[in-house]
Amino acid sequence: MRKQIIVGNWKMFKTNSQAIEFIKSVDSKVKADENIIAGIAVPSIMLSDVQKVAKNIVISAQNCYFEQEGAFTGEISVPMLQDLGIKYAVIGHSERRDIFGETDEMINNKAKALLAASITPILCCGESLKTYEDGTTIDWVKSQITKGFEGISADDAKKVVIAYEPIWAIGTGKVATPEIAQNVCKEIRDIIKNIYNQNVADEILIQYGGSVKPENIKDILDQTDIDGALVGGASLIEDSYLGLVNYKG
């Protein structure tokens, strides 16, 4: 039985004090147990303070750079995350790819750097509306996954969380139907099986992301190959965040 992992992605929202207040208010109300991981990916400036107040909520970075240190103005390194005790980092979000020009190679390097430091990469993939309409979603995602996992061992691959986020469903209110999401997540599991083996495919966690809300999370997480959600907008409001992570009641 795979665990479930539901992670809020705050993107560039909230100030440090608002973030601390939010975590203090919701943390004790999160019913996380050994079968469900509840997380929030916060802007890097808040990681340190928020990490100190979160007990039930797992704090994630939204990005990192792959070099250990150096002249990379504005970036944060894996050792910096390690020093704060951060255990998860989102990499390759479509906004990072599209707005900041991140390539599959950079994302692959980030995954390797994180795994070497025992931090779980939440590696995002997903197609644009045009790719979806052209019917080439699977080819697109296969290329992202193949390049993203290049040079990663089977043992390490199992530790990665894949987030499938169709770009046309992010922040648009247009959620992929549970059937569409399940179909692509199943294909992703098959891609992983072909790169590695059945065991890695059975163990790896695959999230869906894109307009997930308390109202639709159950239908999405009921799908066989969907093990969690990466949630933007609906994770910013306390009641709504609790509605997501405590969806089982």
Q: Please state the residue numbers annotated as binding site for substrate.
A: 9-11, 171, 211, 232-233
Tokens of 95: 């906004």
Listed ranges 74-82, 135-143, 207-215, 237-245: which one lies at the site for ligand PGA (CB under 6 A): 207-215
9 binds ligand PGA (CB under 6 A): yes
Q: Please indicate whether residue 165 is annotated as part of the active site.
A: yes
231 binds ligand PGA (CB under 6 A): yes
What does residue 37 show for φ and ψ, rounded to 5 degrees? -105, 130
63 binds ligand PGA (CB under 6 A): no
Q: Which is nearer to ligand PGA, 26 or 212 (CB)?
A: 212
Q: Which residue number places its CB atom closest to ligand PGA?
A: 232
Match 């922040």 to its residue by tokens: 171
Q: Looking at 93, 95, 102, 127, which residue is catalytic?
A: 93
One of 61, 113, 212, 217 touching ligand PGA (CB under 6 A)? 212
Q: How far is the CB of 209 from ligand PGA (least distance, A)?
A: 4
232 binds ligand PGA (CB under 6 A): yes
Question: For the chain, percent helix, then strand, then coil, each to nearest 5?
Answer: 45, 15, 35
Q: Which is it for the CA torsion 1, 60, 182, 186, positive or negative?
A: negative
> x/- binding map, residues 162-201, to ligand PGA, per CB under 6 A?
---x----xx------------------------------
Listed ranges 21-29, 103-111, 151-159, 210-218: which one lies at the site for ligand PGA (CB under 6 A): 210-218
Q: Please indicate whether residue 150 is annotated as part of the active site.
A: no
What does residue 188 show for φ and ψ, rounded to 5 degrees? -65, -40
Map residue 60 onto helix, strand or coil: strand
Which one-letter DSSP state was computed for residue 45?
A: G
60 binds ligand PGA (CB under 6 A): no
111-117 CB contacts, 8 Å cutoff, 24+ apart: 111/148, 111/149, 111/152, 111/160, 112/66, 112/151, 112/152, 113/64, 113/66, 113/67, 113/68, 113/78, 114/64, 114/78, 114/89, 115/152, 115/156, 115/159, 115/160, 116/78, 117/78, 117/79, 117/81, 117/82
Match 């530790």 to its residue by tokens: 159
Q: How far is the CB of 9 from ligand PGA (least distance, A)?
A: 4
Tokens of 122: 């939440």
209 binds ligand PGA (CB under 6 A): yes
Q: Which is nearer to ligand PGA, 80 or 175 (CB)?
A: 175
> Which residue(s) pair with 159 in the sheet?
none
Q: Which is nearer to ligand PGA, 184 or 200 (CB)?
A: 184
Binding site for ligand PGA (CB under 6 A): 9, 165, 170-171, 209-212, 230-234
